[in-house]
Amino acid sequence: MAVKISPSAVVERGAELEDGVIVEPFAYVGPKVKVGGGTVIKSGAYITGDTQIGRECVIFSSHIGVEPQDLKYKGEETKVIIGDRVRVREYVTIHRGTEGGGGITQIGNDVLLMAYVHVAHDVKIGNKVIVANAVQIAGHVEIGDWAVIGGLTGIHQFVKIGKHAMVGGASAVHRDVPPFTVAQGNRAKLVGINLVGLKRRGFSRESIRALSAAFEMAFKTEEPLLVALRKVEEELGDFPEIREFVSFIKESKRGICPV
């Protein structure tokens, strides 16, 4: 399929568009942008900087690859990398990385960013993630595969959200959210295991029961957290989900959301 560019769109010389790319009226594509095959850039989209967009994405009227809102940024060459089949809805902002954060803002495959989401510099978003309307993601945040972030949520810089986690709407997340759990509130607190999400994604009953037991053992006790985690490993460590749950908590630098 040939590339289709509207006469009223601006595609700068140097931009690389693979077969099947469609650029609709009044969109802008900068000279360092690379766009994978079958991607549609809708009217009003503004894509600039050293930005790579994968195949079969749909980009609505959003700003991608613009300079970060970091006062330490001095114009150094940094990137945005977006995977395949990503849907970026209206008025999303995705800022490129900074030298201090590794230089890359990265979004995985099959991600949905709903309207008015902000993705700050050096953020890393995994695969199959859903970020609902008006979520504000500060710099250096990491969000694991299959996580779901409820609308109007704010996520503090350097926070990590684990795989298959769920953050309730209108939350303020200031500490890390372990994989397979649910956090909600301002400030966000852990409320249990993401039972609905885990069932939908085909986790076994045994794994879900083990995670529920691990959550109770780790967070519903008066013992020090590291002592409780050792017991979790001893009793439930045969499950890979438990090993990931424990490892995430042990490696947390910001600390874990309270219960």
Residue 187, domain member (yes or no): no
One domain, residues 127 and 213: no
Task: Tell me which of 49, 101, 139, 150 is the catalytic residue.
Answer: 139
Residue 242, domain member (yes or no): yes
One domain, residues 136 and 232: no
Longest dimension (CA), the chain: 67
CA distance 44 to 31: 17
- The mean per-residue pLDDT over the stretch 159-165 comes to 98
**Is 1's pLDDT higher than 90?**
no
One domain, residues 116 and 222: no
Q: What is the CATH number of the domain that holds 230?
A: 1.20.1180.10
CB 123 within 8 A of CB 141: yes
Number of compact structural domains in the chain: 2
Residue 258, domain member (yes or no): no
One domain, residues 10 and 134: yes
Domain boundary among 92, 107, 140: 140
**Is 73's pLDDT higher than 90?**
yes
Residue 146: pLDDT band by 50, 70, 90 thresholds?
A: very high
Task: Tell me which of 122, 144, 156, 168 is the catalytic residue.
Answer: 122
Q: What is the CATH number of the domain that holds 90?
A: 2.160.10.10
Domain boundary among 93, 115, 140: 140
CA distance 96 to 75: 11
What's the pLDDT tens digit per position in 187-246? 999 999 999 999 999 999 999 999 999 999 999 999 999 999 999 999 999 999 999 999
At residue 123, the pLDDT reads 98
Residue 121: pLDDT band by 50, 70, 90 thresholds?
A: very high
One domain, residues 131 and 247: no
Residue 147, domain member (yes or no): no
One domain, residues 235 and 135: no
What's the pLDDT tens digit per position in 90-110? 999 999 999 999 999 999 999
Q: Pick from 137, 136, 134: which is nearest to 151 by CA?
A: 134
Residue 51, domain member (yes or no): yes
What's the pLDDT tens digit per position in 32-66? 999 999 999 999 999 999 999 999 999 999 999 99
CA distance 46 to 10: 10
At residue 10, the pLDDT reads 98
Residue 168, domain member (yes or no): no
Residue 33, domain member (yes or no): yes
One domain, residues 134 and 240: no
Annotated catalytic, 145? no
Annotated catalytic, 122? yes
**Is 252's pLDDT higher than 90?**
yes
- The mean per-residue pLDDT over the stretch 68-74 comes to 96
Residue 170: pLDDT band by 50, 70, 90 thresholds?
A: very high
One domain, residues 134 and 15: yes
pTM value is 0.98
**Is 130's pLDDT higher than 90?**
yes
Domain boundary among 95, 112, 140: 140
Annotated catalytic, 238? no
At residue 169, the pLDDT reads 98
- The mean per-residue pLDDT over the stretch 67-79 comes to 97
Task: Tell me which of 121, 140, 156, 164 is the catalytic residue.
Answer: 121
For residue 206, the enclosing domain spans 199-251
At residue 8, the pLDDT reads 98
- The mean per-residue pLDDT over the stretch 248-258 comes to 98
Q: In 10 A of CB 205, how many CB atoms?
A: 9
One domain, residues 19 and 118: yes
